[in-house]
Amino acid sequence: GAVVSQHPSWVICKSGTSVKIECRSLDFQATTMFWYRQFPKQSLMLMATSNEGSKATYEQGVEKDKFLINHASLTLSTLTVTSAHPEDSSFYICSARGPVYEQYFGPGTRLTVT
């Protein structure tokens, strides 16, 4: 299957700072990427859909000014958590859409805000 990478795999930051997470499709071009958040023992929660060259579409309840998404190329999407707070601590996972609408997930980024 296709490979999607994420960087960093884990990050610890202080409350009030911003953190950028990168998601790359390594062996295919992805016009559409997705960002999910998952709290311990809970299901995936879709945060936003990101299309190359256009603004991301955010799910209801997700603050677009807090979670900035940029999809500037067919292989890279970034999620920036601005002014992070402890309640933003979570497992953030990106995925890239494949040719038959399947999604390939990155390995995830574990964010801890202290």
Partner 1 sequence: QKEVEQNSGPLSVPEGAIASLNCTYSDRGSQSFFWYRQYSGKSPELIMFIYSNGDKEDGRFTAQLNKASQYVSLLIRDSQPSDSATYLCAVKLGSQGNLIFGKGTKLSVKP
Contact footprint for partner 1 (CB under 8 A): 1, 34, 43-44, 46, 49, 91, 93, 100-108
Q: Which is nearer to partner 1, 1 or 14 (CB)?
A: 1
CB of 46: closest distance to partner 1 in angstroms?
A: 8
CB of 18 to partner 1, least distance (A): 23
Strand, helix or coil for residue 87: helix
Asked if 90 and 38 touch (Cβ cutoff 8 Å), the reply is: yes
In sequence order, the 6+-apart residues with CB closer than 8 A to the CB of 26 are 2, 3, 4, 5, 75
Shortest separation between residue 16's beta carbon and partner 1, angstroms: 27
